[in-house]
Each structure stands twice: as C-alpha cells, then as structure tokens.
Structure 1
Amino acid sequence: MTSLDKPTDREATDQDAESRAVTEAALFEAFGGVRGMVETVVPGLLFVTIFTINKNLHVSAIAALAVALLLVVVRLAMKDTVKHAFSGVFGVAFGVVFAMITGNAKNFYLPGMLYTLGMAVAYIVTTLCGVPLIGLILGPIFKENLSWRTRNPGRKKAYAKASWAWGLILLAKCAVLFPMYWWADTTKFGWVLIALKIPPFLLAVWLTWVFLAKAPAPIDVFAEMEAEERAAQEAKDAGREAGGARHRREA
C-alpha cells in the first residue's frame, strides 16, 4: 500500500465516527433507549410508591398493570415499535399474578428477578459455548446475522467480551437482590430494586458500546446476497443476449 492508498487521519476519524454512530443506533434499537428504560422503570416505581403509602397490594398491583398497558396504548397510538412496552406488560402481569396468588407484595418483583438471573446465566453459558448471546441479539440489527462467528473473529471477540460484561453485571445485581428478597421488608426491597434498575443496565450498554466501537466493522450479509443476486441476474441476461445474437447470426 502506497502513501496515496493509506487512509488519511481525517478519513480514519470519519470512519471511526461512522462506526460509533452505527453501534449507538444498533444499541438504541436493541435496548429501547431512554424511552425503553422509562417504560421498564415506571410500573415498578408506581407499585412501590403506592405500596409505601397505603400498604394495599391490590391497588398497587392494578395501578402498575394499568400504567404498563397505558404505555403500550401510547406506543400504538404513535405507531411506534411496541416490543419493549409489551415486554414490560408481560413482566408486570406475571408480577401481579405472583403477588395476588401468594398475597405477598414482595413477589411482585420475583418474576423479574428470576428473568434477570436466567439472562445472566444465558449470557455466560452462550459465551462459553462460542455463541455469545449479545451477538445473537445484535447480529440481525447490524445486518451481519451470524457472519461474525466464522468470518469476523475480531467482532466475535468483542461480542464475547460484551456478553461476559452483561452476565457478570446481572449476576452481581442478583447477588444483591436475592438475599434482600428473603430478609428485607417489601418497601425497602422495592426501593432498592428500583434503584438498581438503570445503573447496571447503563454500565452493560456502555461496555458493549466500548467493545463494539473498537471491533472490526460488521459484514453486511444482506448486501452480499443482493450483490450475488444482481450478478446472477446480469449473467443470466448476458446469456440471453448472447443466445439471441447467435440465433440471429444463424438465421
């Protein structure tokens, strides 16, 4: 490579900026951004606030479920994606059912805690198996699908680091919450759980961004397939033209 072929500092900076922007957009789409975080926190926050005031399980549960449904309705009215809001509704609904059946307000949080533990295990196990979960989540968003597994080792390494980060952070969160579930009162436990909703999540997302921003660019397998289809069509068209020309010469 000659000096003329090498990218200039400005070009390299532009490429880095573009890579970071693409990574930020993918993470925003995958995890819902600020709005997704709000939709995750608000139902639980409303539940613990009402329960702290009046200690009424039924009112607290119904209010949490109602606001979760309202968030979905708002999404639908704005014709926005509803996957994050729907996941919040299902989580709140399971919590309400657990709390109502057992009569224990603390069990409102149990399904979410079990889900967090399951995700922590999934991140770690899939990474140990060579298929880090964060790569499975973000691969389709980056339009690379599973190409990173065999064709982009640097990117696979970044996904592995990010998955380890998610798994360990979620395990640390569980290490705080599960002991408190057994000995803390419902109000104290609820406020601690709300306080631990966003910070661990932001830390995991930030580390994912750091690892992927430094990784090689994703391989756009969709663009490759489109290019192959165009090449095949062009070859087919060229074959027809050649056959037509030969037929005209013979005639």
Structure 2
Amino acid sequence: MDGTLQRLGGPLGLACAAAPTIAFVIIEAVAGLTPALIGLTVTAMTACAIRLARRESPGAAVAGLVVAAVCAGVAAVTGEARDFFLPAMVVPVLFVLAYSGSLLARRPLMGLIVNPLSGGPRRWHTHRGLRRLYTASTLVGLGLAGLTLSARILLYLADQPAALAVVQVVSTTSFAVHFALTLVLARRSAGAPVQAITAT
C-alpha cells in the first residue's frame, strides 16, 4: 500500500498538491483576495519546483501549476474567493458521468484505469475476481464523487471558501487512497486462480 501511494507522490506529493489551496484560503481570510492570489502563486510555484526536484512526472507537476493558475484567474476576474473553487467542481461532475457510463457499459472505470498498471490480463472483464473488484471500486468512486460534488455545491452557495478548501484536500486524498487500495487488491486478485465468466 505504501509503495503504491508513493507512485502518486507519497505524503509529500499530496501535501504539495494541497498547499496552494490551503495558502490561498488562509491568506484570503487574514489579508484579502489580492494577497491571497500572490501567496497562491508563490506556493504553487514552490510546490511545482519541489515535485520536479523529487523527479515526479513533469506533466503532473506542471498540470498542478496550470490548475492553480486557472482557479486564481477565475477568482481574480470575479473578485470572490469562493470562485477559486469553481473550476474544480468540474472534476467530480466528470467522474460521476464517467463512473456511471462505465457501469452501464459493463466496463467499470476503475478497471480501465487500474488494470494496465496492475499487470492484470487484457481481458480482465472475463476474470470473475477482477470484474467484481473493479465494479465495487467503481461504485465506491461514484459514491465519493457524488458526495464531493454535493458538498461543493452546498458550500459554494453558502459562501464557505475555508470549508471548500477542506473538501478539496480531503477529496484529493481520498481519491489517492482509493486508487492505491484498488491497485493493491487488483494485483492480488490477478494472481489468484482465474474463474472465467461468460457475461461480457
């Protein structure tokens, strides 16, 4: 489990991902929007540099910087701190749609994402153990995404940027743990005796 989490950056990687959001909310509460945007920029650039220094994926490191810039841009244009979290609301919406669509198509999304990394068989959907695991994991992911989306909408309407920050950090961490746990279980299941299923 620890090794799998390290693939996602480990505790330091998760902290780097959360740092810009936390810095923005704290500074905005103390000093206002403009200083918060400056603090966000500095923190995001520092986090990107740390991730690159740790030889993490350059694409992931730069993507974090771009996401922070987009969120900051929205808040700067509207002049409201809560709008910093508007772009991030798209993520759980996309996940809800993707999870739901994959279940309807009988190709659970977590199987499509995790199986290539776990070394499982190409026809994982005919492997009874893996099919059950990925279906259950996809249902859990759907539940997490739905809860996250509901919480974000309610807190946005209530104008609670600090609470939105907490939800964003918790949802990022829960996704990482969910992914890591699914990967560990998939590796174990892929090594178990195969019980083929006829439904495809």
Question: TM-score scaled to structure 1, two decimals?
Answer: 0.65
CA displacement, residues 190-241 of structure 1 (integer Å, 9 cap, x when unaligned): 221222234445555555627963862259xxxxxxxxxxxxxxxxxxxxxx
Contact conserved, 1:27 with 1:205, CA < 8 A, in 2?
yes
Change (3 A) 1:147 1:32: farther
TM-aligned CA distance change 1:84 to 1:32, over 3 Å: farther
Q: Equivalent residue for 1:129?
A: 105
Change (3 A) 1:212 1:163: farther
Report the count of equivalent residues: 190
Give the residue type in structure 2 aligned to 1:90. Answer: V
| Equivalent of 2:164 in 193, 197, 201 | 193
**Is residue 2:86 matched to residue 1:114?**
no
Q: How far off its partner does 1:125 sit?
A: 2.0
Paired with 2:66 and 2:89, the residues of 1 have a C-alpha distance of: 14
Q: Following the alignment from structure 2 to structure 1, what is the Cα–Cα distance between the partners of residues 4 and 178?
A: 14
Q: Does 1:99 align with 2:75?
A: yes
The answer to whether the Cα contact below 8 Å between 1:158 and 1:212 also exists between their aligned partners in 2 is: no
Which residue of structure 1 lines up, in the alignment, with residue 16 of structure 2?
Answer: 39
Determine the structure 2 residue equivalent to 1:10. Answer: none
Indicate if the aligned counterparts of 1:142 and 1:218 stay in contact, CA closer than 8 A: no
Superimposed CA distance per residue, residues 63-122 of structure 1 (whole angstroms, 9 cap, x where no aligned partner)? 213222222222223333334433322221110121122222211111112222222322
3-state SS in 1 of match to 2:106: coil
Q: In structure 2, what is the Cα distance between the partners aligned to 1:113 and 1:128? A: 23
Unpaired segments ≥5 residues, structure 1: 1-20, 220-251
Deviates more, 1:110-119 or 1:202-211: 202-211
- Work out the CA distance in 2 between the residues paired with 1:172 and 1:154: 27
Is residue 123–residue 167 contact of structure 1 (8 Å, CA) maintained in 2?
Answer: yes
Question: Match of 1:216, SS?
Answer: helix
- State TM-score, norm by structure 2: 0.80
* 1:165 maps to amino acid: V
Does 1:168 find its partner at 2:143? yes
SS of the residue 2:11 aligns to? helix
Aligned counterpart for 1:213 among listed residues 182, 185, 191: 185
Cα separation, 2, equivalents of 1:125 and 1:218? 28
Report if the CA contact (8 A) 1:26-1:141 is conserved: no
Q: Aligned Cα RMSD in Å?
A: 2.7
CA distance in 2, matches of 1:50, 1:121: 34
1:18-45 CA-to-partner distances (Å, cap 9, x unmatched) read: xxx5xx544542x433223212211000
Instruction: Work out which structure has the larger RCO, using CA pairs closer than 8 Å and 6 or more positions apart in sequence.
Output: 2
